[in-house]
């Protein structure tokens, strides 16, 4: 059993950029900030993938429980099917871990807020 890595967090209501505009007196110009669209893409990817992985896991777990039941199989061939389903469950767990870890790692390396060009003063507008 694997533990899922941390999910990227969507922008919360009332969340503000990391620093207030003009907070640093050494900044030559005040900055406008926007929630990073690339980070939002990772949040959306996580929210899209999780229900699909949960559905696959639930379906395989149900099939595995039914296959292990003595009322399901009455022949030695049943053992082979149970082993196959157990292997599929293991592969799905590894796939789930790989997909979620890649999303989580990319989210950890992606800033939540980025400087915005909109509303920033320009010398020759």
Each residue of 50-73: pLDDT tens digit?
Answer: 999 999 999 999 999 998 887 877
Average pLDDT for runs of 10 along the chain of length 125:
87 82 59 89 97 97 90 81 94 96 97 78 54
pTM here is 0.79
Structure confidence at residue 76 (pLDDT)? 79
Phi, psi of 116 (to 5 degrees): -105, 140
**Where are the chain's structural domains?**
37-116
Structure confidence at residue 89 (pLDDT)? 96
Q: Bin 2: left if φ > 0, else alpha if -120 < ψ < 50, else beta.
A: beta
Structure confidence at residue 19 (pLDDT)? 64
Structure confidence at residue 71 (pLDDT)? 82
Torsion 60-66-70-74 (CA) sign: negative
DSSP 18-54: SS-TT-STT-SS--EEEE-HHHHHHHHHHHHHHHHHH
| Beta strands at 32-35 and 113-116: parallel, antiparallel or unpaired | antiparallel
Query: Residue 89 corresponds to which tokens in the numbers above?
Result: 């469950």
Q: Bin 119: left if φ > 0, else alpha if -120 < ψ < 50, else beta.
A: left
Structure confidence at residue 1 (pLDDT)? 59
Mean pLDDT of the chain: 86
Task: Determine the straight-line distance between the first and last CA of the chain, rounded to whole angstroms.
Answer: 58
Structure confidence at residue 33 (pLDDT)? 84
Please choose, from the candidates 55, 51, 59, 64, the residue with its C-alpha nearest in 3D space to the C-alpha of residue 100: 51
Rounded Cα distance between 37 and 43, Å, is: 10
């Amino acid at each position: 059993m694997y533990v899922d890595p941390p999910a990227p967090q969507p922008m919360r209501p009332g969340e503000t950029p990391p620093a207030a505009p003009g907070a640093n007196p050494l900044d030559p110009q005040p900055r406008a900030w926007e929630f990073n669209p690339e980070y939002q893409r990772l949040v959306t990817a996580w929210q899209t993938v999780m229900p699909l992985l949960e559905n696959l896991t639930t379906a395989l777990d149900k099939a595995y429980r039914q296959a292990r039941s003595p009322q399901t199989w009455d022949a030695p061939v049943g053992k082979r099917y149970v082993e196959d389903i157990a292997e599929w469950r293991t592969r799905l767990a590894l796939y789930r871990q790989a997909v979620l870890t890649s999303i989580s790692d990319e989210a950890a390396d992606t800033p939540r807020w980025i400087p915005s060009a909109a509303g920033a003063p320009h010398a020759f507008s």
